[in-house]
Amino acid sequence: MGREEQQPLLVGRNNIYDLQSDAIEDVLEKREAVGVGWWARLVAWESRLLWVLSGASIVVSVFNYLLSFVTLMFTGHLGALELAGASIASVGIQGLAYGIMLGMASAVQTVCGQAYGAKKYAAMGIICQRAIVLHIGAAVLLTFLYWYSGAVLKAIGQSESIAEQGQVFSRGLIPQLYAFALSCPMQRFLQAQNIVNPLAFMSVGVFLLHSLLSWLVINVLEYGLIAASLTLSLSWWFLVVATGLYIVLSPSCKETWTGLSIKAFKGIWPYFKLTAASAVMLWLEIWYSQGLVLISGLLPNPTISLDSISICMNYWNCDINFILGLSAAASVRVSNELGAGHPRLTKFSVIVVNATSISISVVFTAIILIFRVALSRAFTSDAEVIKAVSNLTPLLAISVFLNGVQPILSGVAIGSGWQHIVAYVNLTTYYVIGLPIGCILGFKTSLGVAGIWWGMIIGVLLQTTTLIFLTARTNWNTEVEKAADRLKKSANEETLQLVTGV
């Protein structure tokens, strides 16, 4: 009976790409009628959608990160002290702010993604505006941290010379902070409706312009550290202007962006609760690895420790930003399919994206181990730093491999609206278990930086194991019901007041 019912769907469909998600959900529901050949086609169908989304998302994530990467590369040739100051500010100050902003923006991904899947397009522009209001409020508070960053860095144990250079760099990044407040929600707004290619072109264009400006300001004009950070801020504002103009002017957003509205201020408290949970979740995740750099500055010979670990972390961040592109695609796929009421397709998408990510991470791990010396020479010619980096690359390789699972599962959590659960998991595995172990190994044994990193790896491994367990036990039919309830509980379809605690 099941096979007869499915025949009209399968017969004559040589090109599976002609099928829509409703039809694929029907195929998966009647999976006993699907042969091995069709399972391969289903994987191909999902992979095609995944790469359409993630290909451009990867470009956006990587090239946005490369703006800071390039700045640190140019700064490294100013001197070891300048690189240490810029690195500590980039991690301890900029990394903290970006983690908060990116975490808050994940709420946009959750609600806009589910609204898009449910075809409630008018609500999406209101959600984006509401997010921007909250992001700007956070930016105002974080401005004080940037301005007084020198005192903050010294308070957490950094040397006076490194803290002074870090403060110079941080103050030049204050304009970038407000660019974050606008860019993060707008990018997630576009990604939630599968508009990613324009974002990729913008990111590449701004990166090329930033590279040219950085070379001109630092190498040619020799303006120094403050000019490096101001140039980075300017480049982020180029990105904001380009993204804003696209949203306002593009026909692709005519249904989802209907102009500024006072409705953005309605229902802001329920939305703030999800935003806060999202910020805590991602901030705990991002700052855990960034804290490795800060703690390294407390070790003997902090300049060498900071330089070596920051070089490794820059390559780790390149990898994580690549994988975050896949994670963003996973989040969009999960939120869209939950909103559309497709539990089986949601589960299938989770399996495919994880298998894809693990395969990519295996390749990246091999590259790091093969080119361990050459990677450090891109940043420095100091033989001592090069040797220190080479000694740390096996740990970098392990971390890169773990990236094949952990960020993807976080993306699934964002798409499903589990931010508050993952925040508790991150707090426990990272800060209650991993960080204390790292400090003991780093300061009470001869391992030094490597000991701190081992602690981080243990925390990530525990967090990944927990997320695998939670995802494997998920009832996706229940998650579809929760997504529908999340939309229905809005007093007005356009305000989409999200009820947290689901």
**Beta-carbon count within 10 A of 44 CB:** 13
Q: Is 172 helix (H, G, I), strand (E, B) or coil?
A: coil
- For the chain, the domain total comes to 1
CA atoms 483, 109, 105, 75: torsion sign: positive
d(CA 301, CA 321): 30
Question: How far does Cα 189 stand from its chain's mean position?
Answer: 14
Predicted confidence at residue 303, as pLDDT, reads 65
How far the first Cα of the chain sits from its last, in Å, is 37
| Dihedral over alpha carbons 288, 293, 296, 301 (to 10 degrees) | 180
d(CA 324, CA 62): 9
What does the block give as tokens for 117? 């899947």
DSSP class per residue in 118-135 = TT-THHHHHHHHHHHHHH
In one-letter notation, the amino acid at residue 342 is H
For residue 27, is it within any domain?
no
pTM of the model: 0.69
The count of C-alpha atoms lying within 13 angstroms of the C-alpha of 472, restricted to the half-sphere facing its C-beta, is: 6
CB 426 within 8 A of CB 118: no
For residue 12, is it within any domain?
no
Mean pLDDT, 10 residues at a time, the chain of 502 residues = 40 55 70 62 79 79 84 78 78 78 77 76 82 88 89 77 84 91 89 84 93 87 84 93 92 83 70 69 67 64 68 75 76 76 80 84 85 70 74 82 78 69 80 85 79 84 86 78 61 39 35
CB 471 within 8 A of CB 409: yes
203 phi, psi to nearest 5 deg:
-65, -45
Q: Is 188 helix (H, G, I), strand (E, B) or coil?
A: helix
What does the block give as tokens for 343? 């539990």
Q: Is 13 helix (H, G, I), strand (E, B) or coil?
A: coil
For residue 24, is it within any domain?
no
For residue 32, is it within any domain?
no
What does the block give as tokens for 52? 């359409």
**Beta-carbon count within 10 A of 271 CB:** 26
For residue 23, is it within any domain?
no
Q: At what angle are helices 343-370 and 21-29 packed, to 10 degrees?
A: 100
Domain residues for the domain of 46 are 41-500
For residue 10, is it within any domain?
no
The count of C-alpha atoms lying within 13 angstroms of the C-alpha of 61, restricted to the half-sphere facing its C-beta, is: 23
Helices in 297-342 by DSSP H: which ranges?
302-340
For residue 183, is it within any domain?
yes
Predicted confidence at residue 121, as pLDDT, reads 79
For residue 18, is it within any domain?
no
